[in-house]
Amino acid sequence: MKKLTVLFAAIVSIVAISLVLQKAKAVTSDAGKPDLIVDQKRLLQNWVVRDEKLPATACSVEEGGITPGEHKLLRFTVSTPNIGTADLTLGDPNAHVAAGDGLYEFATCHRHYHFRHYTLYELIDPATGFTWRAAKRGFCMIDVEKFQDYPGPANNDRNYLSCGAPATATEPMIIGNQGISRGWADTYVWQLAGQFFVLDGGDGQPPVPAGTYILRITVNPPFVAAAGEPCPFTDPSGFCHQLPELDYANNVTEIQLDVPDHPGKQGVGPLKNQPQITSEPID
């Protein structure tokens, strides 16, 4: 009897996984395609350079190789609306991991799945081209907020709300449903874990001297597949992308900003004088 129950459970999971995979394929049909952009207005209005104390227990400290304690940080908000003609549908990360397609990895500290290579954050010295990387290591893509400037119909449903997580010794599996609906945006607010650059060398990168820099955000960034690495979608220039899109030419946003020598705890930038973060929210 127990064997039958196990068999039944196995069949149910196989059916569930194949349904999810079929759903994931549907985004490439003629019905339409997603189109991801980076909201530049949002970025312009939401950044700050300031001093913060990072506790040893923070996921960003653990994952980013940052020494605990006081650091000079550039925090910023990234919002990536889907302005296309179809939802971006990823479904349950548990199913992607079971299929071994390399789209997701499990983030131990966050205790959920992260999409790999969703958005690239770069801080660039325009004089030398030197580029720093941010502390964020992964993304859970869901509908966070409606995008008010969506050119299509305004009555779009919010379809994607769960990051998903595998079972642990004490907690059951959480079935995920990741994606971004038409007219909705996935948003990573400046308070979140890893949503910053460490400017004082505290994460092993060179310190960022005071001066003017370019903050460049690229959603669904182009990449060249390594040997054996999947290349799920190709743009007109031949670069690989993880996700299908109507237009790969509108995926980059840049803003220019000044990094001061001594920003203090109040900080410098549009978000100066915001309260310090007492416990790091993760996503």
Which range, of 17-25, 93-101, 108-116, 261-269, touches Zn ion by CB under 5 A? 108-116
3-state secondary structure of 82: strand
Please give the size of the binding site for Zn ion, defined by CB under 5 A. 1
Note whether 110 binds Zn ion by CB under 5 A: yes
**Shorter beta-carbon distance to Zn ion: residue 107 or 257:** 107
CA dihedral 118, 120, 121, 127 (to 10 degrees): -170
Positions 8 through 67 that interact with Zn ion (CB under 5 A): none
Instruction: Identify the helix (H) or strand (E) that includes residue 47.
Output: strand 47-54
Rounded Cα distance, 254 and 124, in Å: 10
**Shortest-Cβ-distance residue relative to Zn ion:** 110
The set of residues, in sequence order, having a beta carbon less than 8 Å from that of 192 and lying 6+ positions away, is: 136, 280, 281, 282, 283
Stretch of residues binding Zn ion (CB under 5 A), selected from 49-57, 62-70, 74-82, 105-113: 105-113
* Alpha-carbon separation of residue 181 from 82, 119, 132, 149, 282 (angstroms): 7, 17, 31, 14, 22
Q: Contact region for Zn ion (CB under 5 A) — 1-9, 44-52, 109-117, 248-256?
A: 109-117
**Nearest distance, CB of residue 139 and Zn ion, angstroms:** 7
Within 85-158, strands assigned E span 88-91, 104-107, 112-115, 119-124, 131-133, 145-146
The distance of closest approach from Cβ of residue 63 to Zn ion in the complex, given in angstroms and rounded to an integer, is 9
CB of 29 to Zn ion, least distance (A): 30
* DSSP three-state, residue 49: strand
* Residue 137 contacts Zn ion per CB under 5 A: no
Beta partners for residue 89, in sequence order: 179
CB of 213 to Zn ion, least distance (A): 26
* Nearer to Zn ion (CB atom), residue 72 or residue 110: 110
Q: Which residues pair with 79 in a beta bridge?
A: 187
Residue number, 110 or 117, with CB nearest to Zn ion:
110
Give least dist CB 107 to Zn ion, A.
Answer: 5
The footprint of Zn ion on residues 70-89 (CB under 5 A) is none
- Are 196 and 135 in contact, with CB atoms under 8 Å apart? yes
State which of positions 264-283 bind Zn ion (CB under 5 A): none
Min CB(141)–Zn ion separation in Å: 11
Q: Residue 140 CB, nearest distance to Zn ion (Å)? A: 5
Query: Which residues make up the interface to Zn ion (CB under 5 A)?
Result: 110
